[in-house]
């Protein structure tokens, strides 16, 4: 019966043909390609734990008197959202575990996306024909940040309520349409009574559906355009070196899914995150100290803190200072990210298809620009703790603010030339030339080390050392010959380490012969 049903479906959907092509799909073995899988599996954990939480959470701003099991809160007026989250944490079996797993997986999801995008950027994996996939990835990052913010805003505790208040002010800062947008989303003036239910619908229904669709499109484009890979081990622009989807990669990726789930469960069980019972319910005139949002919102928080009180006064309208760090900066950031493949294509004039990745050292200016940009946002992230730093270091808050206002410009200007210098040193191209020098590190039978620097033409692969077994006097003669060759041949100078190693050092009782083309 199963065979008959499968045959009927196969005749109409061609399952066998497309399925055979899919299971034979080759995936590279490099560890860095697992970063995207961490993001995917974290999203799966988010969906599973989110379904559990949605069964107990009450998305309501209605005020009630708390009478639950957490004694310090008894008798206080709290929202139903806050009370249900407290009950979920203390009265539902495995409720706190699920809450913390959900929160940790959200942080891991965002972290994996950011690190994965850094890997793609620094290895130039966004070039043609993968520009569309890069744009999808940037939009996934934007949606994940928004959904993370909505998620930790739902409990209506003191921290999340403060964040919602800030978001209302940011919406209002948008010129001309800001007040209308804020009123439309909040259903009136802050705090209103509609924002928690609306955030809940957006968080659990709308954004997850869009994220799931974009993830599907992202994976489909990977299958369509084939996977990128690093150079070496027979990899070319026309093939993919690795393991097939079935059974090798399927077994590895499923094991990785369980590993990600296990690490998230351990974090949820052993590492406390967002203890809202300690913060208390949101009260508009209460202010929290030494508490920052989740890490992926830290750069925005830091930008808001260090932005000077500059305002633009237009005829009949004012653009407040919150607009520049909270609307303009993210807008420019994500617009440049999405446009970068086309910007680089215009600058370099390279419009060819690329399936091989570049080593960051081989594109020093590109890598230096990426490192300087990351340092800019790291400084903003550090600025999100200005109050904590001022208190811990016993200095004035004004001093800390001005330190970050200066560092935001100085640090990238320092990081760029440093990264450029490191890349050029790693690729051995003084002055940024195209001729590369390969360092060959050799070891002698006595344990000494030596380095031979060989000059190679552009496009040459590093020399492969051929093992040649030698014994007794023949070994000594070969070593002496290697020493003469090192000092007089075109290989260049060699630095000999302790033990008298030379350009022909051995493995066990043999020596390595350098190919004739490199002598």
* Statement to judge: residues 182 and 79 lie in one domain: yes
Residues 346 and 484 in one domain: no
Same domain, 461 and 346: no
Same domain, 391 and 510: no
Domain that holds residue 49: 25-413
Same domain for 476 and 371: no
Query: What CATH number should be reported for the domain holding residue 255?
Result: 1.20.810.10
Whether 402 and 440 share a structural domain: no
Both 239 and 164 in a single domain? yes
Give which of 91, 110, 134 is closest to 38, Cα–Cα.
110
Co-location of 326 and 447 in the same domain: no
Task: Kindly state the helix (H) or strand (E) to which residue 310 belongs, with its residue range.
Answer: none
Query: Under DSSP, is residue 64 helix (H, G, I), strand (E, B) or coil?
Result: strand
| Domain count within the chain | 2
- CA neighbor of 465 nearest in space, from 482, 480, 446: 482
Domain final position from 398, 413, 428:
413
503 in a structural domain: yes
Tokens 């208040």 sit on residue: 165
Q: Examine residue 157 and state whether it is found in any structural domain, yes or no.
A: yes
Instruction: Tell me the HSE value of 1 on the side-chain side, using a 13 A CA sphere.
Output: 0
Tell me whether residue 7 is in a domain.
no
Residue 288 placed within a domain: yes
Run of H or E residues at 517: none
**Cβ–Cβ < 8 Å for 109, 60:** no
Examine residue 422 and state whether it is found in any structural domain, yes or no.
Answer: no
Structure tokens at 262: 């296990």
| pLDDT by 10s per residue, the chain, length 519 | 888 887 888 887 777 777 777 777 888 888 889 999 999 999 999 999 999 999 999 999 999 999 999 999 999 999 999 999 999 999 999 999 999 999 999 999 999 999 999 999 999 999 999 999 999 999 999 999 999 999 999 999 998 988 899 999 999 999 888 889 998 988 888 877 789 999 999 999 999 999 999 999 999 999 888 889 998 878 888 888 888 888 888 899 999 999 999 999 999 999 999 999 999 999 887 877 677 788 999 999 999 999 998 888 888 788 899 999 999 999 999 999 999 999 999 999 989 999 999 999 999 999 999 999 999 999 999 999 999 999 999 999 999 999 999 999 999 999 999 999 999 888 775 444 444 555 567 777 877 777 666 555 444 555 555 554 444 444 444 444 444 433 333 333 333 333 444 333 333 334 444 444 443
DSSP bridge pairs for 439: 453
Are the beta carbons of 188 and 198 closer than 8 angstroms? no
Same domain? For 310 and 456 the reply is no
β-strand partners of 455: 437
Question: Does residue 431 form part of some domain?
Answer: no
The answer to whether residue 418 is domain-embedded is: no
Integer Cα distance of 512 and 365 in angstroms: 36
Q: How many CB atoms lie within 10 A of CB 116?
A: 23
User: 367, 398, 413: which is the final residue of a domain?
Assistant: 413
The answer to the question of residue 13 being in a domain is no
**Local structure of residue 328 (DSSP, 8 states):** I
**Same domain assignment for residues 40 and 125:** yes
The three-class DSSP label of residue 312 is strand
Please give the order of strands across the beta sheet that includes 494-496: 436-443, 449-456, 494-496
298 and 178 both lie in a single domain: yes
Looking at the structure, do residues 285 and 181 belong to the same domain, yes or no?
Answer: yes
């Amino acid at each position: 019966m199963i065979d008959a049903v499968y045959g009927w479906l196969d005749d109409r959907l061609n399952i066998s043909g497309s399925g055979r092509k899919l299971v034979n799909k080759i995936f590279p073995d490099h560890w860095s390609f697992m970063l995207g899988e961490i993001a995917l599996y974290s999203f799966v954990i988010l969906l599973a734990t989110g379904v559990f939480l949605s069964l107990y959470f009450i998305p309501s701003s209605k005020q009630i008197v708390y009478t639950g099991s957490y004694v310090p809160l008894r008798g206080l007026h709290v929202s139903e959202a806050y009370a249900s989250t407290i009950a979920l944490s203390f009265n539902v079996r495995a409720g706190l575990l699920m809450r913390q797993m959900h929160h940790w997986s959200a942080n891991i999801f965002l972290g994996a996306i950011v690190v994965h995008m850094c890997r793609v950027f620094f290895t130039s994996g966004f070039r043609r024909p993968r520009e569309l996939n890069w744009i999808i990835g940037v939009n996934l990052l934007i949606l994940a940040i928004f959904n993370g913010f909505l998620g930790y805003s739902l409990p209506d505790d003191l921290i999340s309520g403060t964040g919602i208040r800030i978001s209302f002010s940011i919406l209002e800062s948008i010129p001309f349409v800001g007040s209308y947008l804020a009123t439309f989303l909040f259903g009136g003036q802050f705090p209103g009574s509609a924002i928690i239910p609306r955030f809940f619908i957006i968080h659990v229904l709308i954004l997850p559906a869009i994220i799931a669709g974009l993830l599907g499109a992202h994976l489909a484009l990977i299958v369509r355009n084939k996977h990128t890979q690093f150079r070496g081990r027979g990899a070319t622009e026309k093939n993919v070196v690795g393991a097939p989807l079935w059974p090798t990669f399927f077994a590895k990726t499923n094991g990785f899914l369980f590993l990600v789930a296990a690490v998230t469960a351990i974090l949820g069980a052993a590492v406390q995150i967002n203890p809202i019972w300690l913060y208390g319910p949101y009260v508009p005139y209460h202010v929290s100290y030494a508490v920052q949002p989740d890490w992926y919102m830290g750069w925005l928080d830091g930008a808001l803190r260090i932005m000077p009180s500059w305002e633009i006064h237009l005829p009949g309208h004012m653009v407040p200072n919150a607009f520049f760090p909270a609307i303009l900066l993210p807008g420019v950031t994500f617009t440049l990210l999405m446009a970068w493949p086309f910007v680089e294509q215009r600058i370099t004039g390279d419009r060819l298809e690329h399936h091989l990745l570049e080593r960051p050292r081989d594109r020093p200016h590109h890598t230096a620009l990426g490192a300087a940009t990351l340092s800019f946002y790291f400084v903003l992230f550090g600025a999100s703790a200005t109050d904590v730093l001022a208190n811990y270091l016993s200095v004035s808050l004004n001093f800390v603010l001005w330190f970050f206002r200066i560092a935001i410009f100085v640090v990238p200007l320092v990081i760029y030339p440093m990264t450029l210098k490191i890349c050029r040193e790693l690729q051995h191209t003084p002055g940024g030339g195209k001729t590369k020098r390969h360092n060959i590190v050799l070891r002698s039978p006595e344990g000494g080390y030596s380095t031979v620097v060989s000059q190679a033409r552009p496009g040459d692969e590093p020399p492969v050392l051929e093992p040649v077994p030698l014994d007794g006097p023949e070994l000594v003669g070969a070593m002496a010959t290697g020493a003469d060759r090192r000092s007089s041949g075109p290989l260049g100078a060699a630095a000999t380490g302790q033990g008298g190693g030379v350009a022909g050092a051995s493995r066990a009782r043999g020596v390595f012969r350098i190919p004739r083309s490199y002598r």
